[in-house]
Amino acid sequence: MRWLWSWRERYPSRLDLTAFAPCPVGGTLVGGAVRDALLGRPSADTDWLVADPQASARQLAAALEGSAFPLAEARGAYRVVAGNRTFDLSPLTGSLADNLAARDYTVNAMAVTPDGTLIDPFEGRRDLARKQLRMLSPTALTADPLRPLRGVRLAVELGFGLEPATRQVITSHAVAQVRGAASLPAWERVTEELGRIVMSARAADGVALLATLGLLETYLPELAQTCGVEQLGGRYSEPCGFHHLDVFEHSVEALRQLLVRFPEADSSLRWAALLHDIGKPATKSYDEAGRYYHFYGHDRLGSRLAQAALARLRAPHEVALRVAKLVRYHMLPLPKGERAARRFAHRRRDILPDLLKLMIADREAARGPLSSDRAREAYRLALGRVLAIMAEPQPPLLDGHEVMALLNLKPGPQVGQAMRFIQEAQAVGDVRTREDAEAALRRYAEAQGFAQPEGAQARRGRL
């Protein structure tokens, strides 16, 4: 085959290091930056082997007005951060060949010497041409417990496949990790890799690969438990509602549908699409006739499970909270009329329009026998109604100070209750002017029993 012979022609034996300037004096470029340079991909993070990492770090930091600090003092490594660029500097211990042999995959085991010569002892360029990830050795691949997971991330980002022997080693290592026979990496490192998988354009394929390799059970057991949980029918295997996939397959398809329609979706929305049904395994039941599956309360349980999973992964607290909220409310029925749409938009405004995007992805991923073009069109109309209301400018009719003055209230819970009441009344169109708002507030406060007539506080003070 011609391509097998042309990989040396396709990927040159020399690289111009000026693209990486400033370079540490006498430094050898290694790892992913070499791979990305051959693929024509930009790389802001570079790894260098140098004689004196501390001296090189100081020189680079001074030249770039960046910061230098120890990265791994036990082995003398340093890191320099300057703007969006990162330089990792390590001492060359032993030979360059030994250093490259200790790396994870052949495409990461290439180097460029100071004179621009490409060092490729394990034919990483051939694997680039084949678009495959191939381990250096089972020992090297599992020396760092994060490397199998990193392989999935690289496969997703690069659009590569896993070489069969490499796939087998990763699968075996995942089983050992689940059984406790192999160590786990720090959760912060796991979160970075999983986050990059979820944020990639091929996120759905990445999650499916995690499940195939057994890594999903290692790092996201809540999602792994949805594998094989049928929702197609009940005891008599009758078609069920809108679903045609099991829970895990549906979750992956929801993520895929989300990215087809909203490729700009942030991490919170992507995680919500992936985790929105993780409460289903524990809530699965039959209806009274034993015909259909039900998952009552899976949104509430799923919300708690999603927040706990992201907390374990050391995800930012605000991300975990937003994902939990999106999962909690993804089952809300869409409003059918304008008044209901206004109430919906008001009550869920803090998670809109992301909630609508999640609901679209969820519905489009479920194409069972009850799904129809007519039903989808009605759904789109309801979505459009909410979006149109959200776009309307709606300055508040009264602020908190005005509410306190009107009702003779001091700061406290009653003010918050009154504010929420009048804001919703305005949102659904019950009040449209300041006068309407004041009249409605007086009626509400009196009904709640905390309205005080003018001068009541003063009279109470004299008693």
DSSP labels, 229-265: ---S-STT----TT--S-HHHHHHHHHHHHHHH-TT-
How far is the C-alpha of 84 from the C-alpha of 301, rounded, in Å? Answer: 40
In the prediction, which pLDDT does 390 show? 64
* Domain-wise residue ranges, the chain: 1-129, 131-219, 235-390, 400-452
Going from the C-alpha of 341 to that of each of 77, 384, 426, the distances in angstroms are: 58, 10, 13
pLDDT confidence tier of residue 279, bands split at 50, 70 and 90: very high
Residue 275 has pLDDT above 50, yes or no: yes
Residue 319 has pLDDT above 50, yes or no: yes
Four-point Cα dihedral 200, 201, 204, 205, nearest 10: -90
Peptide bond into 22 cis (omega under 30): yes
Peptide bond into 353 cis (omega under 30): yes
In the prediction, which pLDDT does 333 show? 85
**CB-neighbour burial class of residue 94 (10 A; exposed 0-12, middle 13-18, buried 19+):** exposed
User: Hey, what are 158's tokens?
Assistant: 């690069």
pLDDT confidence tier of residue 449, bands split at 50, 70 and 90: confident
Q: What is the pLDDT of residues 74-89, one digit of tens each?
A: 788 999 999 999 999 9
- Asked if 223 and 216 count as a contact pair (C-beta separation under 8 A), the reply is yes
How far is the C-alpha of 126 from the C-alpha of 4, rounded, in Å? Answer: 7
Residue 456 has pLDDT above 50, yes or no: no
- Asked if 32 and 43 count as a contact pair (C-beta separation under 8 A), the reply is yes
Averaged over 313-328, what is the pLDDT?
96
Residue 443 has pLDDT above 60, yes or no: yes
User: Hey, what are 395's tokens?
Assistant: 């300055």
Q: What is the pLDDT of residues 113-172, one digit of tens each?
A: 999 999 999 999 999 999 999 999 999 999 999 999 999 999 999 999 999 999 999 999
Q: What is the pLDDT of residues 14-66, one digit of tens each?
A: 999 988 999 999 999 999 999 999 999 988 899 999 999 999 999 999 999 99
Averaged over 213-227, what is the pLDDT?
97
Cβ count near 42 (within 10 Å): 8
In the prediction, which pLDDT does 402 show? 81
* CATH T-level assignment (fold) for domain 1-129: Beta Polymerase; domain 2 (3.30.460)
Alpha helices in 180-246 (DSSP H): 187-198, 203-213, 215-219, 221-224
In the prediction, which pLDDT does 458 show? 41
Q: Which of 364, 371, 359 is nearest to 257 (CA)?
A: 364
Residue-averaged pLDDT of the chain: 86
Percent of all residues in the chain with a pLDDT value above 90, rounded to a whole number: 59
Residue 452 has pLDDT above 60, yes or no: no
Residue 400 has pLDDT above 50, yes or no: yes
**CATH class assigned to 131-219:** mainly alpha
- Asked if 60 and 80 count as a contact pair (C-beta separation under 8 A), the reply is yes
CATH 2.50.20 is the classification of domain 235-390: no
Averaged over 176-201, what is the pLDDT?
95
Residue 72 has pLDDT above 50, yes or no: yes
| β-sheet with 45-50: strand ranges across | 67-72, 77-82, 85-91, 45-50, 28-30, 111-112, 118-119
42: helix, strand or coil? coil
**b/e per residue 53-87 (b: at least 16 CB within 10 A):** beebbebbbeebebebeebeeeeebbbbbbeebeb
Q: Which of 284, 270, 275 is nearest to 302 (CA)?
A: 275
* Pick from 266-270, 288-292, 428-432: least confident: 288-292
How far is the C-alpha of 220 from the C-alpha of 225, rounded, in Å? Answer: 9
User: What is the torsional sign of CA 295, 372, 238, 249?
Assistant: negative
How far is the C-alpha of 352 from the C-alpha of 185, rounded, in Å? Answer: 36
